Amino acid sequence: MAGRMQKQERQRRLRQLIADNPFITDQGLADRLGVSVQTVRLDRLELGIPDMRTRIKKVARDAYDRVKSISESEVIGELIDLDLGDSALSVMTPTADMALLHSGVVRGHHLFAMANSLAVAVVDAEIALTGSANVRFLRPVRVGDRLVAKARVREISGRRHRIAVTVRVDTEEVFAGEFVVFAVDED
């Protein structure tokens, strides 16, 4: 009976951890719960909780359906959450073709493109164009780092949107930018 209660409590905590962070890996769950990755996989299966990639794809599909200003293929990274006119979230894991050959450091234009496309996506308009950007690269990013970008609309003045974007690896901020994006009339 004690083992059953432990299992129920572990599964309750597993659900809560995934609700708090749908991007958490099975390894991350195992570390937080103090069990093996196999135990996490069995618990997820029993609870009907899909793996991280499937969870991300479902959330991303819902977010892409709301984007107005750019197409899905123009978002750099995977759009995970979108509240038009307020905030957006995307993720990306850089690959070797994005990095400098000798160092494995990801070239800055990939980080910029991720942040810029997210800033444009959050604008509630059919056409949105970047007017200016003030960015800071805070530390090198390496191939395989999991990047999480968050855009937040700071101010809207007519067609002008001031948007702050941060990119993190785990809890460390690696890029910060402020973008001015204009909503443009179609004609």
Residues 45 and 71 in one domain: no
76 and 34 in a single domain? The answer is no
Name the CA dihedral angle for 93, 108, 84, 157, rounded to a multiple of 10 degrees. Answer: 170
Please check whether residues 94 and 175 belong to one and the same domain. yes
Q: How far apart are CA 86 and CA 149, in angstroms?
A: 14
Nearest Cα to 180, choosing from 134, 127, 144?
Answer: 134
Residues 34-62 as b or e (16 or more Cβ within 10 Å = b): ebeeebbeebbeeeebeebeebbeebbee
49-67 per-position pLDDT tens digit:
888 777 766 665 555 455 5
Element holding 13 (H helix, E strand)? helix 2-20
The residue whose two tokens read 């890996």 is 25
- Is the residue at 57 inside a domain? no
Distances (CA, A) of 120 to 82, 92, 138, 150, 174: 11, 17, 22, 12, 20
26 closest CA partner among 49, 6, 9: 49
CATH number of 144's domain: 3.10.129.10
pLDDT class for 184, splitting at 50, 70, 90?
confident
Give the pLDDT confidence of 131-141 residue by residue, as tens digits: 999 999 999 99
**136 vs 45: which has the higher pLDDT:** 136
Is 56 within the bounds of a domain?
no
pLDDT at 53: 75
DSSP notation for 31-61: HHHTS-HHHHHHHHHHHTPPPHHHHHHHHHH
Which range marks the domain in which residue 172 is found?
67-184
* pLDDT one-digit tens code per residue, 107-117: 999 999 999 99
Judge whether residue 123 has pLDDT over 60.
yes
Contacts of 73 (CB under 8 A, 6+ apart): none
Helix (H, G, I), strand (E, B) or coil at 111: helix
Q: Is residue 62 part of a domain?
A: no
Total tally of structural domains belonging to the chain: 2
pLDDT at 76: 87
| Residue 124 included in any domain | yes
69: pLDDT strictly greater than 80? no
pLDDT at residue 60, rounded to an integer? 59
Residue 99 pLDDT > 90, yes or no? yes
- Sign of the C-alpha dihedral computed for residues 64, 16, 93 and 165 taken in this order: positive
Mean pLDDT over all residues of the chain? 87
Question: Are both 95 and 168 inside the same structural domain?
Answer: yes
pLDDT at 163: 98
